[in-house]
C-alpha cells in the first residue's frame, strides 16, 4: 500500500449464515484526498463493504487495508483517524450542540476547535440549543460535526442527505467540498446519483455483490455507455439512434424532413444515472438468466 492509497480492497468476500454471498470478490482503491462514491441498489453489498472497512464486520476472505491497517485488527489509535457519519445517529438527548461536540472532542488526541466546527456546519445560531429541539436537517449537520471533530484522515458518509430538502442538500454539498479542500479523503454512499456526480471524483458501482464498474465519474461505464442519443417522433412513433455525431445526424433529419425540424427532436447525453441504471439492469438480467 502506497502513501497515496488510503483504502485498498482485494478480492473482498463476505458470506453470511446459510450460504448467502453478500460480496463476491471486490477490488478497488481509494486515493488520498479524493471523494469516492460507492453506488448500488439496496442489497447490493454497499453496507457490508462499508462495515468491513470501518472495522464493524469481519470479512470471510480477501484483503482490506484502511490507512495501512487491517480493519479487523484496528485499535483505538487507528479508529481515531476515522470519521463516521451513519444514516442516522439517534442523538436526541438533552445536551446542546456545543456540549455534545466538546464531549466528543475530548475523545481524540488532536481534535478540531469546537466553535470552528460548529461554524463549518452552519450551526452557529443553534450552538446552545438542545439536540432534541433541532430539525432533522440540523441534526444531520450535528452528525457531520461529530464525524469531523476528531480531524479524520478518512470520512465515511453513509446516505448523508436522505430526507434533506433541495436547498439543504446543496448547502451540505458545499460543506463536503470544504472538507475535501482541506485534504479529507471521503467514502460516500448515496442513492442520489446527482449527488455522486457533484461530489465524487471516482465511483464504484456494486450490483449482486460484484463491482460492475469502476472509474472517474465522467468516464465510468466506458465510451460506449456515453454515446449520445438522438430522439424524435416520426408519424406518431418515437425513434432514437445512438451516434457519435449527434449534430450531423440532426442536420440530416432536418434535411430529410424538408428543412423542418422533426417533432420532439432532442439530443440526450447519458447522465451518471442513465449509465448506472443500465449497468445495474444488465447485471440483474444476467443473474435472472442464470437463476
Same domain, 229 and 207: no
Domain shared by 43 and 106, yes or no: yes
**For the chain (length 291 residues), average pLDDT per consecutive 10?**
84 93 96 96 91 95 97 93 80 85 92 90 92 86 89 92 79 86 93 92 94 92 88 94 94 94 93 87 75 58
State whether 187 and 235 are in the same domain: no
pLDDT on residue 88 = 67
* Structural domain count, the chain: 2
What is the model's pLDDT at position 136?
A: 80
What is the per-residue pLDDT for 288?
65
Q: Are residues 179 and 230 in the same domain?
A: no
Question: What residue numbers bound the domain in which 80 lies?
Answer: 5-216
Q: Point out the domain boundary residue: 170, 200, 216.
A: 216
Q: Are residues 81 and 147 in the same domain?
A: yes
* The pLDDT of residue 144: 85
List the CATH number of the domain containing 31.
3.40.50.300
DSSP string, the chain: --TTEEEEEEEEEEEETTTEEEEEEEEEEEETT-EEEEE--TTSSHHHHHHHHHTSS--SEEEEEETTB-GGG--HHHHTTEEEE-S-----SS-BHHHHHHHHHTTSSSPPPHHHHHHHTT-GGGTTSBGGGS-HHHHHHHHHHHHHTT--SEEEEESTTTT--HHHHHHHHHHHHHHHHTT-EEEEE-S-HHHHHHH-SEEEEEETTEEEEEEETTTTTHHHHT--EEEEEETTEEEEEE-S-HHHHHHHHHHHTTTSPPEEEEEEPPPHHHHHHHHHHHHHHHHHHH-
Residue 291: its pLDDT value, please? 58
Same domain, 143 and 53: yes
- Of 216, 247, 278, the residue at which a domain comes to its end is 216
- Using the 3D structure, point to which of 164, 198, 216 is the last residue of a domain: 216
**Whether residue 127 is found in the same domain as residue 149:** yes
The reply to whether 138 and 281 lie within a common domain is no
- pLDDT, residue 62, reads 97
Residues 81 and 198 in one domain: yes
Assess whether 128 and 198 both reside in one domain.
Answer: yes
Amino acid at each position: 500500500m502506497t502513501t497515496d492509497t488510503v483504502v485498498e480492497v482485494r478480492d473482498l468476500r463476505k458470506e453470511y449464515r446459510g450460504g448467502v454471498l453478500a460480496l463476491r470478490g471486490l477490488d478497488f482503491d481509494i486515493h488520498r484526498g479524493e471523494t469516492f462514491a460507492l453506488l448500488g441498489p439496496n442489497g447490493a453489498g454497499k453496507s457490508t463493504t462499508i462495515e468491513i472497512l470501518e472495522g464493524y464486520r469481519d470479512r470471510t476472505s480477501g484483503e482490506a487495508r484502511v490507512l495501512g491497517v487491517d480493519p479487523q485488527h484496528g485499535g483505538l489509535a487507528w479508529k481515531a483517524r476515522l470519521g463516521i457519519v451513519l444514516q442516522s445517529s439517534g442523538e436526541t438527548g438533552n445536551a446542546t450542540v456545543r456540549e455534545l461536540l466538546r464531549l466528543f472532542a475530548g475523545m481524540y488526541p488532536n481534535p478540531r476547535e469546537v466553535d470552528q466546527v460548529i461554524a463549518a456546519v452552519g450551526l452557529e445560531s443553534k450552538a446552545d440549543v438542545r439536540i432534541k429541539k433541532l430539525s432533522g436537517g440540523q441534526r444531520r449537520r450535528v452528525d457531520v460535526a461529530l464525524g469531523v471533530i476528531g480531524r479524520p484522515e478518512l470520512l465515511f458518509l453513509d446516505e448523508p442527505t436522505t430526507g434533506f430538502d433541495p436547498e439543504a442538500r446543496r448547502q451540505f454539498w458545499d460543506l463536503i467540498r470544504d472538507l475535501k479542500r482541506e485534504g479529507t479523503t471521503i467514502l460516500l454512499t448515496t442513492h442520489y446519483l446527482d449527488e455522486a456526480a457533484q461530489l465524487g471524483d471516482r465511483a464504484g458501482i456494486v450490483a449482486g455483490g460484484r463491482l460492475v464498474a469502476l472509474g472517474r465519474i465522467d468516464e465510468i461505464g466506458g465510451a460506449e455507455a456515453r454515446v449520445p442519443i438522438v430522439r424524435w417522433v416520426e408519424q406518431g412513433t418515437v425513434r432514437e439512434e445512438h451516434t457519435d455525431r449527434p449534430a450531423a445526424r440532426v442536420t440530416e433529419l432536418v434535411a430529410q424532413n424538408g428543412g423542418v425540424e422533426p417533432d420532439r427532436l432532442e439530443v440526450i447525453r447519458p447522465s451518471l444515472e442513465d449509465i448506472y441504471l443500465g449497468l445495474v439492469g444488465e447485471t440483474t438480467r444476467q443473474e435472472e438468466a442464470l437463476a
